[in-house]
Amino acid sequence: MTPARRAAGREITTLEGLPAESRRRWSEALVATGGSQCGFCTPGIVMRLAALEGDGQAPPAPAAKVDQALLAHLCRCTGWQTIGEAARSVLDGTPPRSPALTRRDLDRASTRAGIEGGVPQRVDPAVVLGDAGFADDGAPAGALVAVPDGRGGYAVAETVAEARALAGKVQGRSTSLPLRHPLDVPAGDWDLTLSTTWVEPGYLEPDASWCLPGQAPASPLGNGGAFGGKADSPVAEDARRLADEHGRPVRVLWSREDVVRMGAKRPPVAGGVDRSGAGRLRVGVPPEGVDEGRWAALAAAVATVAPDLDLEPVPLSGPPLGFSLRGAVWAEAAVLAAGARALGSLGPGAHRDVGMEVVGPSGGRAVARCLPDDSFELVVAAGEALDEVVLRSYCIGAAHQALGWVRSEGIAVDADGATQDLTVRSFGILPARAMPRIGVTFESGTAFEPGAARPAVNGSDAVFCAVAAARWLADGLVERWPTDRAGAARPGRP
C-alpha cells in the first residue's frame, strides 16, 4: 500500500518487531472475538491498532478512533465488528464476550471455520500473527519467479523485480467508467425485478502457487476458501507446467491488478418474479457456454430456494465468471424468492423490518431483520455451533459482504469486456465506519432438523442471502444493484 520511496530514511517496525507481550495481547484478543479469519489482513491491522495503545507517556487512543484508524485497511472476511470488539477489549479493557482462550477448543473452532469457509482452515493466535501458511510462504529459496506478462503468458526471471520488469507494470487504477448491467430483465409482467453487474470477490491473498519439477503444485488456498474465487484459478497448473518446462522450482505470483484483470467475477444476472415466486432469471455465462454438470448443479441449488424460477444462460463477453463464488446464482434466486414472499404477504407497501428467511442448500437457516436504525438482527440455525465465536464471526462477515453486494459493490467492465477498476479501493467494499451493528443469535438444529443438535452445517451462506434480501427490502426493492454506490463510505443512511 505504501510505495517504498515514501519510507526512505525511516525506521520501519513490522509485526515481528512488536514486543512479545503486545503480540500476545493482540493475537489473543482477535482470536477471542473472532476478529481474524483468513488472517491475511490481520498483521497490518495489529500494527495499526498497536499504534493506538500509547507508549506509557501518551494515553491509549479512545476506541472511537478505531474505525478511523482502519480506513487504510481492508478486511474482506470478518465484517469489521469483531475487530472493533478486539480493539475495545485491549484499548478500553472491555472484556471480550467469549470464553477465555484456554476454555475454547480451537480444533472445534477450526472445524466450524472450515465449514463456513469451504476449505480446511485454522483458528489460532499464530494466524493473527501472519503464520497461517499462505500460498507463497512455503516456496523454496532460489525458485524462478513467473508473473503474468499481459499477453496471456508469463515473464519468468530469477527475482520478482526482474520478472516484473520483464512483464511491464500494470497500473492500478479506479476508473470513472460507470458500472454496466449487461443483461436485460426478461420480458414479462413481473411484480419484482433485479439486475446486477460484475462483482469482484475481493479476497485479499492474491493468487499464488509454486511447484518443483515433476511434483504437485502448492494450493493457492492459504487459510481460507477465497469465497470460491480461486476454485478455477489457473496458477497451480501454471506453476506445474513452468517448473517442468524450466526444470527448476517456479513460483507463480499474481499481483492485485493481475487478480482483478484475470480472476473470476460474480456473474451478472437479470430476473423477474411474480408474487408467487414464479419467474425467470437470466444468468451471464462465458461465450463458450458453461459445463453441463456445473449448470445442472446450479439449477439443483436454485430449485431448493426458488422452485418456480426458470434459469436462462446468456453468453456474455467480459472477465471470467465464477460459478463457485459464494452462492452465485442461487443466492440471487433466494433473494428474489424472499422479496416475492415479502411482497406476497404484505402488499405493495412492504414493511422495512420484516424478517427475511433463507434456507441454504445444506440446511443452514437464517432470518435477517433490518431495524429502523439500519442495524441488523440475525437468527441463525447452523446445527451444532462447535464454536460460537467463529460462527458469529462468519455470520457478521457474510452480512458485511451482503450489504456491500446490495449497496456498493461492482466492478467496471468496458465495452470490450476488460475490467477497468484495478484497485482494492475501487471494488466498493464497505469500510469499517460504514458497517452497521449486526446482532446474532443462534438456534440449535437446522432447517432440516429443527431442534436437533447435529449436524453442523454452513450458516453464513444463508446469512449472506437473508441480509441481502433484508437490505434490499428496506431500500425499497429497487431493481438495480448496487443501489447506492456513492454511499459506500457513508454510515448506513436513515
Point out which residues bind ligand FES (CB under 6 A): 36-42, 75-78, 204
Burial-class residue 161 by CB neighbours within 10 Å (0-12, 13-18, 19+).
Answer: exposed
Cβ nearer to ligand FES, comparing 73 with 280: 73
What Cα–Cα distance (Å) separates residue 439 from each residue in 16, 196, 279, 368? 35, 27, 33, 10
User: C-beta of 77: minimal distance to ligand FES in Å?
Assistant: 3
User: C-beta of 323: minimal distance to ligand FES in Å?
Assistant: 22
Site of grid cell 476454555: 103
Cβ nearer to ligand FES, comparing 34 with 284: 34
C-alpha cell at 385: 455451533
300 Cβ partners below 8 Å, 6+ apart?
A: none
User: C-beta of 73: minimal distance to ligand FES in Å?
Assistant: 8
Cβ nearer to ligand FES, comparing 330 with 394: 394
Cβ nearer to ligand FES, comparing 28 with 238: 28
Query: Which amino acid, one-letter code, is at 299?
Result: A
Burial-class residue 12 by CB neighbours within 10 Å (0-12, 13-18, 19+).
Answer: exposed
Cβ nearer to ligand FES, comparing 36 with 458: 36
Cβ nearer to ligand FES, comparing 228 with 363: 228
User: C-beta of 75: minimal distance to ligand FES in Å?
Assistant: 3
Helix, coil or strand: residue 312: strand
User: C-beta of 205: minimal distance to ligand FES in Å?
Assistant: 8
What Cα–Cα distance (Å) separates residue 383 from each residue in 258, 330, 387, 457? 39, 21, 11, 6
Contact 203, 134 (CB under 8 A): no
User: C-beta of 474: minimal distance to ligand FES in Å?
Assistant: 27
Query: Which amino acid, one-letter code, is at 219?
Result: S
Question: What is the sign of the dihedral through the CA atoms of 172, 259, 285 and 481?
Answer: negative
Contact 448, 334 (CB under 8 A): no
Cα gap 465→455, rounded to integer Å: 21
User: C-beta of 59: minimal distance to ligand FES in Å?
Assistant: 28
Three-state SS sequence of 326-392: CCCCHHHHHHHHHHHHHHHHHCCCCCCCCCEEEECCCCCEEEEEECCCCCEEEEEECCCCCCHHHHH
* DSSP string across 267-290: PPEEEEE-TTS-EEEEEEE-TT--
User: C-beta of 355: minimal distance to ligand FES in Å?
Assistant: 29
User: C-beta of 38: minimal distance to ligand FES in Å?
Assistant: 3
Contact 267, 321 (CB under 8 A): yes
Cβ nearer to ligand FES, comparing 77 with 466: 77
C-alpha cell at 448: 432440516
Cβ nearer to ligand FES, comparing 33 with 36: 36
C-alpha cell at 139: 516456496
User: C-beta of 477: minimal distance to ligand FES in Å?
Assistant: 31
User: C-beta of 127: minimal distance to ligand FES in Å?
Assistant: 9
Cβ nearer to ligand FES, comparing 45 with 211: 45
Cα gap 43→27, rounded to integer Å: 9
Cβ nearer to ligand FES, comparing 76 with 122: 76
User: C-beta of 223: minimal distance to ligand FES in Å?
Assistant: 8
Cβ nearer to ligand FES, comparing 73 with 261: 73
Contact 47, 128 (CB under 8 A): no
User: C-beta of 47: minimal distance to ligand FES in Å?
Assistant: 14
Cβ nearer to ligand FES, comparing 370 with 390: 390
The verdict on whether omega for the bond into residue 455 sits within 30 degrees of 0, i.e. cis, is: yes
242 Cβ partners below 8 Å, 6+ apart?
A: 144, 146, 154, 156, 211, 250, 252
Cβ nearer to ligand FES, comparing 39 with 360: 39
